[in-house]
Amino acid sequence: MKKTALITGISGQDGAYLANFLIKKNYKVIGTDRRSARSDNWRLRRLKIDKKIIYEEMELGEIYEIERIIKKYPFSEIYNLAAQSFVATSFKSPLNTSNITGLGTLRILETIRNINSKIKFYQASSSEMFGDVLNKFQNEKTPLNPQSPYAVSKVFSHYITKNYRKSYNMFAVSGILFNHESPLRGEEFVTRKIVRGLVKIIKNDLKVLEVGNINAKRDWGYAKEYVEAMWKMLQQKKPDDYVISTGNSYTIKEFINLTTKYLNLETKWVGKGIKEKLINKKNNKILIKINPKFFRPAEVNFLNGDCSKAKKKLKWRPKTDLKKLVKIMVDDEINYYKY
């Protein structure tokens, strides 16, 4: 029989890739969006699956809406991807972030427990939970030290998922995913912002790109591969949490350098600190400069994941290195630029 899955946050990057993956596995996919969604489902259209999904409105702040949806379909799996997911916004809207990214998870878990505790539940945990880290690699045993209202909310969701697993014997798991990017990444996140910004400059639609802290390091993987790990976690005999990462960490500056190189721009960095700038050697024009308005009140300077457990138990491994990811993102940005 066809399995039915619920994906919250269907309009987001991971929602689109996961829906695509599950449809290929012959699942019936119900995707939920918040009522105020302004999304035109461009990601689902890009993957040509927009007509293959059943859409429902579901605001994570309203438990009655969650109940209505969970009662309506015979779900075997629920993937909770919806969240106020942008760290910078979480400093401006800490209460909304806590209500949606934190309590939203509890509302779903509580509803599953009441309606059908056999439904398997996936929670989108985040490497941001590790926060201010001291050790070289982070894995499932690394202490959490969140640095933003977003990360604090994800820590709440992470522990409440563990708690429901233990207390009520539910199949509830968290995937601790390190940053994962793609052409479908939101434009506010740094990788897509850099790729889009530089392509805009080349097309004469932007003069200078402004960014924040270019010395922070991230472990960036390819989102399309990461959603398979989510599914694999729900197919295991026992529920458990897993880190998903590449094991390589680069600075934002290194990401910029890989992007300019792929775009055949000859560049040089000049200046230091907030005066640091990237110059186009051909015409001496500034391509990128620092604007402190993009600095965060508290920063996560370094993330690098150790996904040995996922490699061993899920037989999952990352396949795309950063150079290849930059190529995928830049090619797509140029292809779809007009649209």
Residues 98-127, interacting with ligand NDP (CB under 6 A): 100, 124, 126
Does position 87 interact with ligand NDP (CB under 6 A)? The reply is no
Tell me how far apart the alpha carbons of residues 259 and 197 are, in angstroms, rounded to a whole number.
11
Lookup result for tokens 């479908």: 184
Interface with ligand NDP includes 83 (CB under 6 A)? Answer: yes
> Beta-strand (E) ranges in 34-104?
54-57, 77-80
Among residues 91, 159, 262, 294, the one that binds ligand GDP under rule CB under 6 A: 294
Residue from 162, 193, 196, 224 in contact with ligand GDP (CB under 6 A): 193
Placement of tokens 């850099």 in the chain:
194
Among the listed residues 244, 50, 82, 220, the one whose alpha carbon sits nearest the alpha carbon of residue 154: 82
Q: Is 34 in the site for ligand NDP (CB under 6 A)?
A: yes
From the list ligand GDP, ligand NDP, none, pick the one residue 82 interacts with, judged by a Cβ distance below 5 to 8 Å according to partner type: ligand NDP
Can residue 132 be called a binding residue for ligand GDP (CB under 6 A)?
no
Residue 9 interacting with ligand NDP (CB under 6 A)? yes
User: Is residue 176 classed exposed, middle or buried when 0-12, 13-18 and 19+ CB atoms within 10 A define those classes?
Assistant: buried
Helix axes 13-24, 223-234, angle to 10 degrees: 60
Is 231 in contact with 22 (CB distance < 8 Å)?
yes
Among positions 28, 30, 59, 306, the unique one binding ligand NDP when judged by CB under 6 A: 59
Q: Is 252 in the site for ligand GDP (CB under 6 A)?
A: yes
66-74, 210-218, 274-282, 327-335 -> range binding ligand GDP (CB under 6 A): 210-218
- CA pair distance 297, 107, nearest whole angstrom: 29
**List of residues contacting ligand NDP (CB under 6 A):** 9, 11-15, 33-34, 37, 39, 59-61, 81-85, 100, 124, 126, 177, 179-180, 186
